[in-house]
Amino acid sequence: MTELTLVQAINRGLSEAMRADPDVLVLGEDVGLNGGVFRATEGLFKEFGESRVIDTPLSETGIVGTAIGMALYGLKPVAEIQFLDFIYPAFDQIVSELAKFRYRSGGQFPCHVVIRTPYGGGIKGGLYHSQSTEAYFCHTAGLKVVIPSTPADAKGLLLTAIHDEDPVMFLEPKRIYRAVTGEVPDGDHRVPFGKARLVREGSDVSLFAYGAMVPPTVEAAETLEKEGIHAEVIDPRTLVPLDEAAIVASVEKTGRAVVVHEAARFCGFGAEIAAILAEKAFYSLKAPVARVTGYDTPFPYALEHLYLPNAETIAHAARGAVKAS
Amino acid sequence: MVLSRAMDERCLTLQRQGRIGFYAPALGQEAAQVGCALALSPDDWMFPAYRELAIALTRGATVPTIMNQLLGNSADLTKGRQMPNHFGFVDQHFVTASSPIGTQITQAVGAAMAAQRRKHSIVTVAFFGDGATSSNDFHAGLNFAGVFRTPTIFFCQNNQWAISLPREKQTRSKTLAEKADAYGFPGVVVDGLDLNAVYAAVAEARQRAVRGDGPTLIEAQVYRLGPHSTSDDPKRYRSDAEVAEWKAKDPIVRFRDQLVAAHLLDEGAEQKIWEEARAQVGAAIEECEKIPPMAGPSIFEDVFAQLTPRLEEERAEFSHRSAGGATHA
């Protein structure tokens, strides 16, 4: 075990995967000598050289399109998109190409690319360095969507992503790149996809959160505990595939659910969790499912602290759910 | 060339009869495609658009294999999932095409980067038309190829029309080939109606690429003799006179004349080639139309390597619904 920040754990995962398999390579903007704008690829250029840590021209469709070509040829590219907010020039490649290659070729051309990208608010990034648009990718058949919230999961999920056979969108909560440290297993540590993490056990209300929303959700649960409300916290870790069984089982136990995410509410991932609970846990529900999310506005710069969910707004929603029944 | 022409002509009819859903013919582009494909090695990788029938045939895809794709039946390698003409053949390194324009261009460059990394002496070829030279991926792809000096051939079949938009309204550039200048590698214009000229241009580009001298953009000037697809009526935007002018320059006739002049072909032999091609296409249609469609639950396969629990659930729901009297096989 080694104590690491989340971004260090990602760096560790990348370097270990590259050491173990010469087919693994990294490409993106400023990932080489500069080590990435968040330093996620620091040291890789020196160790593996420019043929495996590729500084690309400034074109997201170029990055993802070439990564797809490399994967079709048999390599295991890990593409970095500098911010999720800048991924849209590559949206066509991701949605029309990457997600559909296996399907449209009848299995002849599987296409395993990992796309790493920092996402989310709380860093004074304004409209274009803050958004959480994971739902776009969850809505596209053929993509796996992974969001770690701890250093150990960051490494373990990244190694699973690199060894997977399918395209993976690996969204990194940049707000907690360095704000969170934790023990990370050494060596080939893998966290399976589709298995939620029980962050905290409770019996009164289930709080579902992922990425940078996990720490404030845990903080909310601790506040609620002092008030005699036992909140369970579950981090799904992978939105696709989703551990629906864990979500349903938790609400069957608690009867109440609060879904937390940074993304806008309308058609956000919380809507899917709410729908699953309506379909599969309806008779266990003692209160309406609550959503604590960003608003249906663009992401504001100066007032981001008022836009984002926090421990207090999460606790408030949980109290409301408990009081409702 | 003849086989491609015979197949196109017959398949346009099949679409009119409602036996296939759609068709995008390569009529008029046969010499460019065959000349190109003959200059390549079996190890090279093709990144086609959806109008590359003669490339596919020259690479060794058989008429029945292609026919099964057009019909979308259970013998279709792409499992009935894509519109006709969007075929792909892993054995021929012929990557399954998609409909968005130009996306295969950056992919071809990526595969070439992978080949460089593996030290394989191969080239990748991106196929596209004049319209695609306006796409994002054309510029990104050529730029990456220039920067990384990839062994890539950008084979542009300028067929003069992007659905209804004529070539001169696609770009102010004099030629499409000159766009390569901006990316730091050669662009050449070749008469795409002349099989030998195309062969020579592609062979030279291939040599450059495997020597490590980087990519080439080839603009093969051709003419789309048919419609963009069976959903298109070209009479709305181009004159019969223009089509007739190009029809008089039919690349198959031109190659036939070259062979006749070289005493490599006589009228009897030519007749026989056409008859054999038409018979081959006719037999394939007869055989392939007997093959049943894919089973209904196959729609859940190949989304991922393995079914997720959610897809398993949906498949079970689907099968249950089917068992309840719906018509899914």
Q: How close A52 gets to chain B, by Cα (Å)?
A: 9
Query: Across-strand partners of B189?
Result: B219
B169 touches chain A (CB under 8 A): no
Look at B106 and A104 and tell me if their CB atoms are within 8 Å. no
Using the 8-state DSSP alphabet, how is residue B99 labeled? S
Is residue B323's pLDDT more than 80? no
Q: Which residues of A touch B309 (CB under 8 A)?
A: 194, 241, 244-245
List, by residue range, all CATH 3.40.50.970 domains of chain B.
Answer: 2-288
Backbone Cα Rg of chain B: 21
Q: 10 Å Cβ neighbour count for B214? A: 21
Residues 6+ apart with CB under 8 A from A107: B79, B301, B302
Q: CA dist B255 to A48, B259, B264, B266, Å?
A: 52, 6, 11, 13
Q: Give me the pLDDT at residue B328, please.
A: 46
Residue B321 confidence class, pLDDT cut points 50, 70, 90: confident
Query: Which strand ranges, in their side-by-side order, compose the sheet holding B216-221?
Result: B45-47, B124-129, B152-158, B216-221, B187-191
A101 touches chain B (CB under 8 A): yes
pLDDT digits (tens, 9 = 90+) for A272-290: 999 999 999 999 999 999 9
Residues A53 and A154 in one domain: yes
B103 touches chain A (CB under 8 A): yes
A286, part of any domain? yes
Residues A164 and A226 in one domain: no
Q: Give me the pLDDT at residue B39, please.
A: 98
Chain B residue with Cα closest to A53: B117
| Tokens at A252, concatenated | 């069957």
For residues B285-297, give the mean pLDDT. Answer: 97
Residues 6+ apart with CB under 8 A from B323: none
Residues 6+ apart with CB under 8 A from B227: B25, B233, B234
How many Cα atoms sit within 13 Å of A291 on the Cβ side?
20
Q: Which residues of A touch B122 (CB under 8 A)?
A: none
Task: Pick the last residue of a domain from A124, A153, A184.
Answer: A184
Range of the domain at A39: 2-184
Q: How close A70 gets to chain B, by Cα (Å)?
A: 5
Q: How close B246 gets to chain A, by Cα (Å)?
A: 35
Q: What's the structural domain count of chain A?
A: 2
Residues A110 and A172 in one domain: yes
pLDDT digits (tens, 9 = 90+) for A78-113: 999 999 999 999 999 999 999 999 999 999 999 999
Query: CA-to-CA distance for B18 and B20, rounded, in angstroms?
Result: 6
Contact indicator for A194, A182 with CB cutoff of 8 Å: no
Task: Pick the last residue of a domain from A159, A184, A209.
Answer: A184
Which candidate in B16, B237, B320, B321 is catalytic?
B237
| Tokens at A87, concatenated | 């991924």
Residues A119 and A226 in one domain: no
Residues A155 and A253 in one domain: no
Strand, coil or helix: B281: helix
Contact indicator for B106, B137 with CB cutoff of 8 Å: yes
pLDDT digits (tens, 9 = 90+) for A180-215: 999 999 999 999 999 999 999 999 999 999 999 999
Query: CA-to-CA distance for B132 and B150, rounded, in angstroms?
Result: 20
What architecture is domain B2-288? 3-Layer(aba) Sandwich (3.40)
Query: CA-to-CA distance for B61 and B88, rounded, in angstroms?
Result: 9
> Of all helices (H) and strands (E), which one includes residue A119?
strand A114-119
Look at A69 and B302 and tell me if their CB atoms are within 8 Å. no
Look at A73 and B86 and tell me if their CB atoms are within 8 Å. no
Q: Are strands A205-209 and A238-240 parallel, antiparallel or unpaired?
A: unpaired
User: Which domain CATH number covers A305?
Assistant: 3.40.50.920
Query: CA-to-CA distance for A299 and A308, rounded, in angstroms?
Result: 9
A190, part of any domain? no
Chain B residue with Cα closest to A71: B111
Alpha helices in chain B (DSSP H): 2-16, 30-38, 53-59, 63-71, 103-118, 136-148, 167-170, 195-211, 240-247, 251-261, 267-288, 309-323
**Position A147, amino acid:** I
Residues A27 and A158 in one domain: yes
Contact indicator for A284, A251 with CB cutoff of 8 Å: yes
Query: CA-to-CA distance for B238 and B203, rounded, in angstroms?
Result: 34
pTM for this prediction: 0.97
Is residue B298's pLDDT more than 50? yes
pLDDT digits (tens, 9 = 90+) for A207-252: 999 999 999 999 999 999 999 999 999 999 999 999 999 999 999 9
Q: Give me the pLDDT at residue B324, please.
A: 67
CB burial of residue B130 (10 Å; 0-12, 13-18, 19+): buried
Asked if the ipTM is above 0.85, the reply is yes
**Position A249, amino acid:** A
Q: Which residues of B touch A70 (CB under 8 A)?
A: 110-111, 113-114, 117
Residue among B81, B103, B136 minimizing CB distance to A106: B81
Residues A233 and A153 in one domain: no
Residue among B115, B116, B302 minimizing CB distance to A107: B302
Q: Give me the pLDDT at residue B322, please.
A: 76
Query: CA-to-CA distance for B29 and B33, rounded, in angstroms?
Result: 6
Q: ∠ CA B194-B65-B303 to the nearest 5 degrees?
A: 115
Query: CA-to-CA distance for B246 and B222, rounded, in angstroms?
Result: 9
**For chain A, what is the mean pLDDT?**
97
Residue A67 confidence class, pLDDT cut points 50, 70, 90: very high
Asked about B199 being catalytic, the answer comes back as: no
A17, part of any domain? yes
Q: Which residues of B touch A102 (CB under 8 A)?
A: 302-305
Residues A100 and A215 in one domain: no
Q: 10 Å Cβ neighbour count for A297? A: 9
The string over A213-238, giving b where at least 16 C-beta atoms fall within 10 Å of a residue's C-beta and e elsewhere, is bbbbbbebbebbeeeebebbbbbbbb
Residues A165 and A135 in one domain: yes
Q: Which residues of A touch B103 (CB under 8 A)?
A: 65, 92-93, 96-97
B105 touches chain A (CB under 8 A): yes
pLDDT digits (tens, 9 = 90+) for B60-96: 999 999 999 999 999 999 999 999 999 999 999 999 9
